[in-house]
Structure 1
Amino acid sequence: MKVAVVYQYFQGHGAPGHSLIYELTQHLAERGHEVTVISGETGYMKRDTPTLPWYRRMVRKERDGQVTVVRTFTYSELHRSFFGRLMSFLSFSLSCPAGLLSIDKPDVVLASSPPIFPMFSTWLVCKLRGIPFVLEVRDLWPASAVQMGILKNRQLIGVMSWMERLLYNQSSRIIALTEGIRDDICARGWPERKVELVTCGVDVDRLYPDEAGAAFVRERHGWQGRRIMLYFGALGEANNIPVILRTAQRMRDRHDVLFVLIGDGMKRQATEREVSSLALANVVMLPPVPKDDARMYISAADACLVTLRDIPLFDGAIPTKLIDYMACGKPVLCGVRGEAQRIVEDAAAGLIFEPDDDEHLAGLVAGILDDGSAAARMGRDGLAYVRSRFPASRMRTQMEVALIDVVQGRSAEHPPEDRSS
């Protein structure tokens, strides 16, 4: 089948950040499907500034393995502010239809959200060309932005809520990344048969305990003799980095402990200013590293941190960093309620703290660093758990089967009544 995938932040293993869509598209191509990706010009944590003038960047085609990639004009300063992020979303919303119209008509379009605005323009093209539309939901927008206090304009909230309902109604199938997302959508009236759970998975040949890589990273950064508490991922509004900084402040007298933050996002500059103003010598911030190098940095840590803001919708979140940490055999300190907490507890892969409780987190950091046997056991148990429960091959097969079902017409469902009035 011919598959078109619309995802604003498409990137390979040589770029920082997650590469789930990249790996899915390569899998589909290897399975004999003709795959084209419509994407923006930069990854979520890759700040390359375009050098060509805008009129030469409207639509550009390239190849990545067996996959055709169509890059369309996108505002690149997405991390400058919320306005910059909105401009990035809107610019891709306007340019991605040109990319989708530039290719032969596909049998199905898979669109991955958030952001939600490009999903709407993608659906319009699908409607005009008679293409089945499958929506992958990685985060519930606009609800999560509203609960975080990022989105306050009632008119914009109304527009985005209307878009969300229309997209759910018009999609041939909805793919939910977590149980919490699936349950929320179904609780609002969409039929369970239409909403399919396909969680993130891990490639055990790419993410695994890497002792040699860990030694290289520790020597490179001069971390010998230090106990490393690692946060690896986005530095955004949702990620609750302040609880880590408060914990570091509490533990500044533990000269053997070093908190390492690796990543980028809208809150990176604010975090750097906070580290400087508090004179936190026990905090190091590094730029994002390519996915190919992730296992070395994770393996170099003694324990890893998962944090999110304490809002109800994040009870249904599974941060990809959690699965990555466990795949590298590292114990996890998790400050996320709900689904992420259940994974850590079921796997016996780490310890749980209240999302904003830095005092509790400081105690857990000291305890896990001082009990090497317990930390090693948690790492082993977490590794075994993700290898049995989150194999990437299984997740990609689920997605492939779902797309084939849509193409063969086995997914027609009736949308719920619009109860927004």
Structure 2
Amino acid sequence: MNILFLSDNFPPEVNAPASRTFEHCREWVKAGHEVTVITCAPNFPKGELYPGYRNRLWQWEAMDGMRVLRVWSYMTANAGFAKRLPDFWSYMVTSFLAGLVIRRPDVIVGTSPQFFTICSAWMVSVFRWRPYVFELRDLYPESLVTVGVLKEGRLLSLIEGLELFLYRRAAAVVPVTQSFRENLIRRGIDGAKIQVVTNGIDLTRFRPLPTSSALRETLGIPQDAFVAGYIGTHGMAHALETVLEAAQRMRSASSARSSAPGAVVQASDGKPFHFILLGDGAHKPELQAKAAEMGLTNVHFLDTVPKAEVPRYWSLLDVSIIHLKKEKAFQKVIPSKLFESMGMGIPVLHGVAGESAEIVEREGVGLVFEPENAQALCDGLLRLAEDQALYQQLHEHCLAAAPRYDRTALALKMLGVLERVAR
């Protein structure tokens, strides 16, 4: 089978869509299929071209058995939806044109979150007389309304109409959560063509690693510190001010523990708490300015690192913080970093309500706390720092649960969908 996959994010970019697309396509190649990926020159999230690449109209690359066609796009930083629209539109046009002239595929896959990529996949399917599959990673435009980018009105109605049109025209829809599937069924999409394939973990990369003492020293983190970290996009949806507020309360190793609002807290053994925030995003400059204003010397902001280096930075963490705004729309989301935490054996402090919280509790891989509640985050940190038996139990549960979300098995599950559609 000849599979054409459209995604505007792809390695060496390291965000969740790039990783999922690469890991799925790699497994499909191993299963004996031909895979062509149409993407753009790597530039996410800063809108800056990665070393060794050029933003040309058309350039081929081979990667792990895949044929990768990089097309021209307008590059801009991930600094808000409106500013990125020219980027989305340019990729939609150039990927569509490329899809018309490459060898005819048996099936076409388009991946969100932004659905201009899906528009391109649908148009290619129409002109090439081949079915297309909608991989649904986020509910647009609902998520844009949640973070305040779009408001109720005619524009929102038009975009929602386009969204439903693309669902209906797809031969199959592959959402990453059960909540997404239920949402589509309630809105009239045929449930028979919706197959959930969750995010998962590449167990060959994300596995327990010894903490790098040299890296801790380079970052100025005391060797005895209890390190909590957030690894991922720093956007409006993530409300990382909550992490900064928790860091402010826990930065002193000399004050007594207290649960009073605004109090500074510590572990019973006096162990200092440090926080790592690794990644980029539209909200990062504001977070850095706020941390400086608060005088947070126990918070370390790190830029995105190459894909191969990510597990090394994960290994610095004692606890992984996962957090989104306290909004109903985000109860349908399952952050991919949850599975990476499992693979690394790192217990989770999970500030996201809904389906993902159910996974955390069902698998016993961490503690759930109320989103945007800094004191609840502090309480969770203290509990995991002080209760070694609980910490060890969560660590073991992480390692036991990770194989249930193995990316290889999930890729083959999605391959089954593509094979049925192609037939």
> Taking structure 2 as the reference length, what is the TM-score of the superposition?
0.90
2:122 is the alignment partner of 1:123: yes
CA distance in 1, matches of 2:313, 2:363: 22
Q: Which residue in 2 is equivalent to 1:104?
A: 103
Residue 25 of structure 1 corresponds to 25
Partner of 1:72: 71
Match for 1:96: what amino acid? S
CA offsets, 1:327-374, max 9 Å, x none? 111111000011111111111111111101111111211221122232
Aligned partners of 2:354 and 2:58: how far apart in 1? 42
Q: 2:5, 2:35 within 8 Å by CA — same for their partners in 1?
A: yes
Which position in structure 2 is the counterpart of 1:227? 226
What is the distance in 1 between the residues matched to 2:312 and 2:192? 41
Secondary structure at the counterpart of residue 191 of structure 2: coil
d(CA) in 2 for partners of 1:215, 1:105: 52
Matches within 5 A, 1:28-47: 28-42=28-42, 44-45=44-45, 47=47
Distance 2:388 2:190 in 1: 48
Is the contact between residue 321 and residue 350 of structure 2 (CA under 8 Å) also seen in structure 1? yes
TM-aligned CA deviation for residue 385 of structure 1: 1.2
| Contact map agreement 2:339 2:402 (CA 8 A) in 1 | yes
Aligned length: 403
Distance, in Å, in 2 between the alignment partners of 1:332 and 1:301 is 10
User: Do the aligned partners of residues 205 and 118 (structure 1) sit closer, same or farther apart at CA in structure 2, a change above 3 Å counting?
Assistant: closer
Q: Which whole-Å deviations, capped at 9, do the CAs of 1:259-306 have from their partners, x for residues lacking one?
A: 110001111111111111221111110011223222222222111100
- The one-letter code matched in structure 2 to 1:221 is L
- CA shift for structure 1 position 47: 4.6
Higher mean C-alpha deviation, range 79-88 or range 338-347: 79-88
Name the stretch that deviates more: 70-79 or 126-135: 70-79
Structure 1: give runs of 5+ residues left out of the alignment.
409-421
Any idea what SS the aligned residue of 1:85 has? helix
Aligned-pair CA distance for 1:4 = 0.4
Match of 1:177 in 2: 176
Instruction: Determine which of 329, 338, 352 is the counterpart of 1:313.
Output: 329
How far, CA to CA, are the matches of 2:321 and 2:36 in structure 1? 36
Query: Counterparts in 2 of 1:181-196, with a 5 A limit?
Result: 181-196=180-195
Tell me the SS of whatever aligns to 1:141: coil
More deviation in 80-89 or 120-129? Answer: 80-89
Change (3 A) 1:256 1:51: closer
CA shift, 1:256, in A, is 1.2
Q: Does the 8 Å CA contact 1:229/1:259 hold for their aligned counterparts? A: yes
Aligned to 1:397: 412
In structure 1, the partner of 2:292 is 276
Partner of 1:305, secondary structure, is strand
Report what 1:200 is aligned to: 199
Per-residue deviation, residues 18-42 of structure 1 (Å, max 9, x unmatched)? 3111011111112221110011222
> How far apart, in 1, do the equivalents of 2:79 and 2:181 lie?
32
C-alpha change, 1:52 and 1:75, in structure 2 (3 Å) is farther
- Give the letter aligned to residue 411 of structure 2: R
**Distance in 1 of aligned mates of 2:157 and 2:89:** 17
Contact 1:303–1:332 (Cα < 8 Å) also in 2: yes
The 2-side partners of 1:117 and 1:157 are apart by 15
Which residues in structure 2 correspond to 1:349-388 (within 5 Å)? 349-387=365-403
2:280 to 254, 258, 264: 264
Give the C-alpha shift of residue 46 in structure 1.
6.0
Letter in 2 for 1:318: I
| Deviation at residue 215 of structure 1 after TM alignment | 3.7
Question: Residue 215 of structure 2 aligns with which residue?
Answer: 217
User: Which segments of 5 or more consecutive residues in structure 2 lack a partner in the other structure?
Assistant: 254-270
Q: Which amino acid in 2 is paired with 1:201?
A: G
Q: In 1, distance between residues paired with 2:158 and 2:285?
A: 31
TM-aligned CA distance change 1:131 to 1:43, over 3 Å: farther
Residues 126 and 132, structure 1, Cα contact 8 Å, conserved in 2: yes
Instruction: Give distance in 1, aligned partners of 2:212 and 2:358.
Output: 28
- Please say if residues 330 and 376 of structure 1, whose CA atoms lie closer than 8 Å, have aligned partners that are also in contact: no
**In the alignment, is the contact (CA less than 8 A) between 2:41 and 2:49 conserved in 1?**
no
Partners of 1:41 and 1:76 within 8 A in 2 = no
Tell whether the 8 Å contact from 1:10 to 1:43 is kept in structure 2 after alignment: no
Range with bigger deviation, 262-271 or 364-373: 364-373
Contact 2:43 2:75 in 1 (8 A): no
**Separation of aligned partners in 2, 1:51 and 1:375:** 41
Q: Match for residue 414 of structure 1?
A: none
CA distance in 2, matches of 1:158, 1:89: 20
2: CA distance between counterparts of 1:207 and 1:405? 31
1:407 aligns with 2:407: no
Tell me the CA shift for residue 227 of structure 1: 1.5
SS at match of 2:381: helix
1:413 corresponding residue in structure 2 = none
CA distance in 1, matches of 2:362, 2:112: 29
Q: Distance in 1 between the 2:194 and 2:408 partners?
A: 20
Could you tell me how far 1:312 is from its partner in structure 2?
A: 1.4
Q: TM-score, normalised by structure 1?
A: 0.91
Q: Report the Cα offset of residue 106 of structure 1.
A: 0.5
* Letter paired with 2:128: R
Separation in structure 1 between the aligned mates of residue 52 and residue 279 of structure 2, nearest angstrom: 26
Per-residue deviation, 1:230: 0.6
Alpha carbons of structure 1 residues 173 and 278: separation in structure 2 relative to 1, 3 Å? same
For 1:279 and 1:358, the matched residues in 2 are separated by 17
Distance 1:99 1:215 in 2: 48
Q: Which residue of structure 2 lines up, in the alignment, with residue 139 of structure 1?
A: 138
CA separation in 2, counterparts of 1:61 and 1:190? 37
Shift, 1:97, TM fit: 0.9
1:189 corresponds to which letter in structure 2? G
Q: Distance in 2 between matches of 1:314 and 1:251?
A: 27
Query: Residue 92 of structure 1 aligns to a residue in which SS?
Result: helix
Amino acid at match of 1:391: D
The SS at the match of 1:69 is: strand
Aligned-partner residue type, residue 234 of structure 1 = T
The answer to whether structure 1 residue 167 and structure 2 residue 166 are counterparts is: yes
